[in-house]
């Protein structure tokens, strides 16, 4: 017998409990346990007018943004459509079936206005990190740092060569991203070498390229990660430039120590962070063990002696060559004492020309020069400290732990779909990277913290 669905008649009253239709194991239900917006309105109150029509609830907008970043919904227009249709999204945003979803244009005004002026995303990020700490996901013993390039919202065809003059006063260039760039340039100056190309759409984005790939405008997201459970303890947006990324690492370590009260015993990074100034800052200023390969260009590949073949005598402040001849920073006393420090923050140690000229090892030492020279970094003791850690068990484990940062970057780009920015300017990149890190930490909290399912809960 062919069945027929009962209840074709229109019902006068409906009873619908939204909470019962969201499974207990749903990601948003697990995330919701760790959100605390009790101070949200207090933080934003100075940035709202006390008169006029009531605005959209800021908690609703933050919850909608979290949905978008947790599930890789990059378009705010599509996010509003998804929240309108998805029951779990409505439940998380505290919207009933008959409640209206805000228009997508509301996000732009609040993002560029109140949220940015109040530094709200930074405060929310730190609140989530503190919750990770209270749940035991952050130990603070070892941190890992790295940077990943994310394409900017800038057409590569709108880039012009750096040597070409730019009329920044042109009204067509009077955008928020351009104003921010010019203000930062006037305040801090150019960091590093000038870029090859400059984008008229987002001039703060850096022209960069991976080996074998086409160049494009991009920013770098810098993650400082606690390696115990892979929690992001700090994040910073910079141009895709190594100098800025290194300085961002220092800023993040200082900020985490100041605001969260945690300082690692060791820092894990790749060779790009193994420069002399960076290692000196870690060892001498912060007393942090650098589990970082040393950036070293002193090894020769032409068969002649490298600097490692020379012996350092700290008491005498000199090197000894394989022929047991000294190399010193100066061979005579000067009337005015000299530091002999070069612009590269090194001291040059030289052998006597007479010693090298009669040495039987000259062909293997300095065949093309009259005497041998060695450049010693001002941070050589810190570099030696990093080299001494290279074969320790802790260092070998750190090489494995460093992958936890790379996994987060892969998750950010492939799962959360943050492979191209939607906001422009340094502050736009900063906001997007903060929201992405918040979403990743919340997902980690939700998946690594056990949940007790009450009897009768929706499954």
Where do the domains of the chain lie? 18-118, 139-162+171-293+390-432, 307-378
Q: What b/e readout covers 5-30, taking b as 16+ CB neighbours within 10 angstroms?
A: eeeeeeeeeeeeeeeeebeeebbbbb
- Residue 380, judged by CB atoms within 10 A of its CB (0-12, 13-18, 19+), counts as middle
Instruction: Give me the residues paired with residue 235 across strands.
Output: 223
β-strand partners of 225: 144, 232
pLDDT of 58 over the 70 cut? yes
Inform me whether the pLDDT recorded for 12 exceeds 80: no
Residue 319 sits at φ, ψ, to 5 deg, of -100, 155
Which pLDDT score is estimated for 378? 93
**8 Å CB contact between 317 and 306:** no
pLDDT(8) > 60: no
Q: Do 92 and 28 form a contact (C-beta atoms < 8 A)?
A: yes
Q: Which residues of 424-456 are buried (b: 16+ CB within 10 A; e: fewer)?
A: bbbbbbbbbbbbbbbbbbbbbbbeeeeeeeeee
Quickly state the pLDDT bin for 2 (edges 50, 70, 90): low
Q: What is the pLDDT of residue 78?
A: 94
Structure tokens at 26: 């749903």
CA 144 – CA 142 distance, rounded (Å): 7
Q: What is the pLDDT of residue 454?
A: 53
Distance, in Å, from the CA atom of 282 to the CA atom of 279, rounded to the nearest integer, reads: 5
* Structure token pair of residue 37: 């917006």
What is the reported pTM? 0.89
Give the three-class secondary structure for 146.
strand
pLDDT category at 170 given cuts 50, 70, 90 is confident
Of the pLDDT bands very low, low, confident and very high (cuts 50, 70, 90), residue 9 is low
Average pLDDT on 195-220 reads 87
DSSP codes, 329-370: S-SS--SS----B-TTSEEEEEE-HHHHHT-TTHHHH-TTSS
**Pairing of the two strands 373-377 and 142-151:** unpaired
Query: Is pLDDT larger for residue 108 or for residue 98?
Result: 98
More confident residue, 33 or 449: 33
Torsion of CA 230, 232, 233, 239, to 10 degrees: 140
Q: Which residue bears the tokens 């009669």? A: 358
Q: For domain 139-162+171-293+390-432, which CATH number applies: 3.30.420.10, 3.30.465.10, 3.90.1150.10, 1.10.10.10?
A: 3.30.420.10
| Range with the poorest average pLDDT among 55-59, 72-76, 94-98, 381-385 | 55-59
Q: What angle do CA 18, 24, 25 make, to 5 degrees?
A: 130
Question: Can you state the angle between helices 403-410 and 393-401, rounded to 10 degrees?
Answer: 0
């Amino acid at each position: 017998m062919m069945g027929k669905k009962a209840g074709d008649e229109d019902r006068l009253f409906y009873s619908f409990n939204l909470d019962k239709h969201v499974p207990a194991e749903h990601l948003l239900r697990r995330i919701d346990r760790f959100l605390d917006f009790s101070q949200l309105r207090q933080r934003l109150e100075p940035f709202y007018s006390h008169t006029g029509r009531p605005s959209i609830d800021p908690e609703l907008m933050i919850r909608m943004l979290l949905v978008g970043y947790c599930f890789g919904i990059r378009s705010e227009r599509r996010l509003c459509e998804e929240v309108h249709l998805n029951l779990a999204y409505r439940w998380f945003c505290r919207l009933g079936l008959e409640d209206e979803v805000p228009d997508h244009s509301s996000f732009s005004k609040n993002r560029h206005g109140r949220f940015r002026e109040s530094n709200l995303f930074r405060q929310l990020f730190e609140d989530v990190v503190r919750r990770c700490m209270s749940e035991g996901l952050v130990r603070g013993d070892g941190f890992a740092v790295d940077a990943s390039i994310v394409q900017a919202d800038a057409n590569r065809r709108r880039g012009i060569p750096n040597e070409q003059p730019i009329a920044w006063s042109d009204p067509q260039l009077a955008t928020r991203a351009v104003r921010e760039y010019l203000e930062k340039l006037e305040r801090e100056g150019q960091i590093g070498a000038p870029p090859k190309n400059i984008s008229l759409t987002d001039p703060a984005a850096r022209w960069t390229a991976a080996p074998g790939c086409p160049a494009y405008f991009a920013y770098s997201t810098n993650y400082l990660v606690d390696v115990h459970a892979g929690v992001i303890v700090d994040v910073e947006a910079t141009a895709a430039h190594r100098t800025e990324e290194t300085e961002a690492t220092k800023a993040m370590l200082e900020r985490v120590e100041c605001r969260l009260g945690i300082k690692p015993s060791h820092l894990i990074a790749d060779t790009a962070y193994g420069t002399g100034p960076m290692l000196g800052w870690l060892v001498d200023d912060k007393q942090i063990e650098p589990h970082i390969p040393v950036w070293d260009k002193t090894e020769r590949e032409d068969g002649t002696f490298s600097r490692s073949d020379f012996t350092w005598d700290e008491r005498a402040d000199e090197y000894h060559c394989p022929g047991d001849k000294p190399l010193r920073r100066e061979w005579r006393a000067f009337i005015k004492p000299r530091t002999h420090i070069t612009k590269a923050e090194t001291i040059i140690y030289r052998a006597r020309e007479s010693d090298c000229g009669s040495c039987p090892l000259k062909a293997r030492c300095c065949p093309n020069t009259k005497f041998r020279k060695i450049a010693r970094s001002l941070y050589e003791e810190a570099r030696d400290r990093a080299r001494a850690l290279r074969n320790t068990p802790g260092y070998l484990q750190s090489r494995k732990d460093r992958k936890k940062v790379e996994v987060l970057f892969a998750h950010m780009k492939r799962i959360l779909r943050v492979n191209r920015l939607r906001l422009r300017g340094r502050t736009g990149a900063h906001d997007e990277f903060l929201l992405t890190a918040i979403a990743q930490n919340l997902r980690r909290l939700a998946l690594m913290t056990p949940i007790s399912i009450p009897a009768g809960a929706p499954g």
